[in-house]
């Protein structure tokens, strides 16, 4: 993303136009995934019957326990977040993230200029626009689809 930003800076300086970038780091992004929504997305993007069933088995009845130093807390169930550390989690998160961005794009004002509405890498999201007001509208659309 650094190279893309440098190209944008050079373009803006060359054309002498206002340009806005809002950088968002979706910290703890894996922890914000709504599992029911993720399962629906998985069902929509695959033709295989086994994939949604396996995902459901891995995502339901998840119990966590907090450890601080050598002290262990009580076990509790969670229904939010994507498990981390297995091969499926990054793919699930990327699918969830793209579906949320697609929904945010539909809610945000449409651009007449051919310009990507955002740049993303992993859990970093940069919203782009020539108009601060439109950028704020894009941010509000993202706030609606990404849980806090």
Q: For position 112, what pLDDT does the model report?
A: 60
Residues 35-62: b if buried by 16+ CB within 10 A, e if exposed: beebbebbeeeeeeeeebeebeebbeee
- Decide: pTM greater than 0.95: no
Indicate left, alpha or beta for 62 from its phi (over 0: left) and psi (-120 to 50: alpha): beta
Q: For position 65, what pLDDT does the model report?
A: 83
Mean pLDDT, consecutive 10-residue stretches, the chain (148 aa), reads 82 85 76 84 89 86 84 85 74 83 76 68 82 84 72
Q: For position 71, what pLDDT does the model report?
A: 92
Rounded CA-CA distance 111/94 in Å is 24
Q: For position 69, what pLDDT does the model report?
A: 92
- Name the 3-class secondary structure at 59: helix
């Amino acid at each position: 993303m650094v190279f893309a930003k440098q190209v944008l800076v050079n373009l803006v300086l060359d054309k002498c136009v206002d340009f806005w970038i809002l950088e968002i780091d979706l910290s703890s992004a894996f922890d914000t995934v709504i599992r029911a929504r993720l399962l629906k997305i998985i069902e929509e993007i695959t033709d295989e019957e086994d994939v949604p069933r396996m995902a459901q088995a891995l995502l339901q009845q998840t119990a966590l326990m907090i450890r601080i130093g050598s002290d262990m807390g009580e076990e509790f169930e969670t229904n939010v977040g994507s498990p981390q550390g297995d091969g499926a989690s990054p793919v699930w998160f990327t699918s969830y993230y793209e579906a949320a961005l697609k929904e945010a794009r539909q809610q945000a004002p449409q651009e007449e200029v051919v310009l990507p509405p955002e740049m993303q890498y992993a859990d970093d999201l940069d919203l782009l626009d020539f108009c601060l007001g439109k950028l704020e509208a894009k941010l509000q659309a993202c706030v609606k689809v990404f849980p806090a």
